[in-house]
């Protein structure tokens, strides 16, 4: 019996194992999440999630990346968990941005307080890459009893890569708006790279698009919307 268990465990980390991943862009539809000056959290989460899906599918042996939502729609916490559990994904990653009062910035990553060792390992691996991607304050790899972490059956994490309402030395929502490709790609790639390292798999190299200066053209009027910007 012990031998069978050992063979099963080794098979999970074999190059032949076909990994399936669930991405969960937080909020959506009537729930905008946090709101920055130029961008909503629900939009940022979806942008990052869709791009992360592309990157993760480039990881060898990852055969499927499901999304709890791929458009701007309402999805309840229960529905997100049911989707992940009913499809028996191997890992669950919930994508969020943080908010406070416009003065805080940094990166936090969570797993369930009583989660498995794989949950903690996935959290730590992903957190390191998210911190490296943006270079924001490391606010820690933490534990919490968030619904999607408690009730999913697989190792699960929730990332808060940035404070979308930060408006200090620069404006975070402006970066999502005007530096869309560079900013979204950095975060999305960090999720993919952290996951690949956690699974012990090769991850493709990637060079993101060039950043634009953190400045707003005085002649451009902006409204908060769900993608890009409105001139």
Of the chain, the percentage scoring pLDDT greater than 90 comes to: 77
Q: Does any domain span residue 220?
A: no
Q: Does any domain span residue 30?
A: yes
Q: Does any domain span residue 219?
A: no
Q: Does any domain span residue 36?
A: yes
Confidence band of 126 (pLDDT split at 50, 70, 90): very high
Q: Does any domain span residue 174?
A: yes
Mean pLDDT of 92-96: 99
**Residue 221 clears pLDDT 60, i.e. is over it:** no
Domain that holds residue 181: 18-199
**Residue 209 clears pLDDT 80, i.e. is over it:** no
Mean pLDDT of 94-108: 97
Residue of 229 and 186 predicted with greater confidence = 186
Q: Does any domain span residue 134?
A: yes
Which tens digits make up the pLDDT trace of 38-92?
A: 999 999 999 999 999 999 999 999 999 999 999 999 999 999 999 999 999 999 9
Range 166-169, long-range pairs (CB < 8 A, 24+ positions): 166/36, 166/102, 166/103, 166/104, 166/105, 167/36, 167/37, 167/102, 167/103, 168/102, 168/103, 168/105, 169/214
pLDDT of 191? 98
Confidence band of 206 (pLDDT split at 50, 70, 90): confident
Mean pLDDT of 174-184: 88
Of the chain, the percentage scoring pLDDT greater than 70 comes to: 83
pLDDT of 1? 52
Mean pLDDT of 90-109: 98
For residue 6, count other CB atoms closer than 10 A to its CB: 10
Q: Does any domain span residue 216?
A: no
Mean pLDDT of 119-128: 99
**Residue 207 clears pLDDT 90, i.e. is over it:** no
**Residue 216 clears pLDDT 80, i.e. is over it:** no
CATH number at residue 103: 3.40.630.40
**Residue 187 clears pLDDT 80, i.e. is over it:** yes
Residue of 145 and 16 predicted with greater confidence = 145
Number of independent structural domains in the chain: 1
**Residue 217 clears pLDDT 80, i.e. is over it:** no
Question: Residue 160 and residue 151: Cα distance in Å, rounded?
Answer: 19
pLDDT of 5? 45
pLDDT of 203? 84
pLDDT of 16? 78
Known catalytic residues are 160
Q: Does any domain span residue 89?
A: yes
Question: What is the average pLDDT score of the chain?
Answer: 88
């Amino acid at each position: 019996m012990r031998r069978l268990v050992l063979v099963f465990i080794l098979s999970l980390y074999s190059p032949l194992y076909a990994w399936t991943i669930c991405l969960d862009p937080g909020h959506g539809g009537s729930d905008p999440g946090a709101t920055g000056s130029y961008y909503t959290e629900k939009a940022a989460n979806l942008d990052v999630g869709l791009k992360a899906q592309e990157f993760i599918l480039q990881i060898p042996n990852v055969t499927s990346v499901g999304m709890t939502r791929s458009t701007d729609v309402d999805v309840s916490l229960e529905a997100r968990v049911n989707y992940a559990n009913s499809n028996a994904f191997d890992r669950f990653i919930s994508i969020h941005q943080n908010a406070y009062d416009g003065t805080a910035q940094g990166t936090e990553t969570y797993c369930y307080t009583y989660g498995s060792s794989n949950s903690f390992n996935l959290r730590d691996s992903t957190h390191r890459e998210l911190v490296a991607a943006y270079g924001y304050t490391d606010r820690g790899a933490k534990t919490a009893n968030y619904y999607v972490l408690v009730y999913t059956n697989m190792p699960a994490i929730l990332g808060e890569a940035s404070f979308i309402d930060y408006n200090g030395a620069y404006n975070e929502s402006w970066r999502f708006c005007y530096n869309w490709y560079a900013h979204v790609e950095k975060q999305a790639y960090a999720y993919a790279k952290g996951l690949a390292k956690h699974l012990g798999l090769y991850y493709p190299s990637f060079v993101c698009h060039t950043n634009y200066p953190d400045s707003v053209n005085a002649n451009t009027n902006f409204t908060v919307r769900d993608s890009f910007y409105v001139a």
